[in-house]
Amino acid sequence: MKKLMRSLAGETLPVPPIWMMRQAGRYLPEYKATRAEAGDFLSLCYNPDLATEVTLQPIRRFGFDAAILFADILLVPQALGADLWFVTGEGPRLSTITDAAGLAKLKGRDDIHDTLSPIYQTVRNLASALPSETALIGFAGAPWTVATYMIAGRGTPDQAPAHALKDENREVFEALLDLITDATIDYLDMQVQAGAETVKIFDSWAGSLKGDDFRKYAVEPTRKIIAELKRRHPTLPIIAFPREGGEGYVGFHAATGADCVAVDDSVDAAWVAENVQPAGCVQGNLKSSHMVTGGDALISEVRRIRDALSGGPHIFNLGHGITPDADPDNVSLMIETLRESVSA
């Protein structure tokens, strides 16, 4: 069994498997060349041959234990009928959903697959192209995070527009979340049918939900997605990432049914080992800034996190995505340090 799948199954390994969020991306010169060939970001996402190529690039260069499908969490809103475009240097823009009339214009869950069919082809390509030891991860954004972009029309520092709709028009807000949840189930199901061996649910803005809202809008949609995916695919392991969940990480395995909970770098690995890892596999949580600065601090932190989480199932990763200013040599140093003899 592949190393990543062994960890997801609950096995504690002497050296944990490693992959890296956004491992195919702008820090790699070969990615930049392929993106230039595609013309723009969305064209790259929807071109199965080129999306396959950029997914494979970090595997060839670094030998990660897993590849994650190259796509974007905002393809689901686009498939539902939202307008989506990217502004160079600023990020995504979408048409906004702020009332019942806007919600009514969206498509149903059954109408998303024509738009998303190139993504499924990319998964099929990867399933046959990856080395036999490399696991294939599919993914989607969690409903709350996706909704924040659909409501605001862009990323926001505090997700205020989504919180406002939640507080002022709960019926529309919850209907939008339900639609995203249903579409996400079908999207991930199709990825698994195409060859994804595990999937990850990214809730990048979960930390802005507090108290009962965290339970209702971070935990519950994730639980619903996982329950239905496991009904359709009983042996499918699933990773959940409620970023900046803080104390909400505690009990997240049991509350959602996730096989692995990814943690960000705002929590200490020793705390994770004591409070989260006893419930199952954890993933994380090196600060992305170490991929920029490197050096002895990187080596020390890799060893510290590895050792802190060595008592249970662990997938080594960053606490968030790698940044465009990262040095590929530091990625190599991270991997070499992680895989060194643990007695070194």
Point out the catalytic residue in the list 27, 31, 46, 149.
149
Task: Using the CB atoms, write b or e for 303-332: b if 16+ within 10 Å.
Answer: eebbebbeebbbbbbbbbbbeeebebebbe
Residue written as token pair 């071109």 = 47
H or E stretch covering 24: none
| 154 a catalytic residue | no
| 35 a catalytic residue | yes
Point out the catalytic residue in the list 6, 27, 31, 35.
35
User: Measuring CA to CA, which residue among 73, 86, 38, 2 is closest to residue 243?
Assistant: 73
Point out the catalytic residue in the list 46, 65, 72, 306.
72
| 31 a catalytic residue | no
| 22 a catalytic residue | yes
Q: Are residues 130 and 56 in contact, defined by beta-carbon separation less than 8 angstroms?
A: yes
Point out the catalytic residue in the list 26, 61, 93, 154.
26
| 149 a catalytic residue | yes
Count Cα neighbours of 129 within 13 Å in the Cβ-side half-sphere: 20
Cis, bond preceding 317 (omega within 30 deg of 0): no
Point out the catalytic residue in the list 22, 223, 243, 306.
22
- CA–CA dist 136, 4 (Å, integer): 9
Catalytic residues: 22, 26, 35, 72, 149
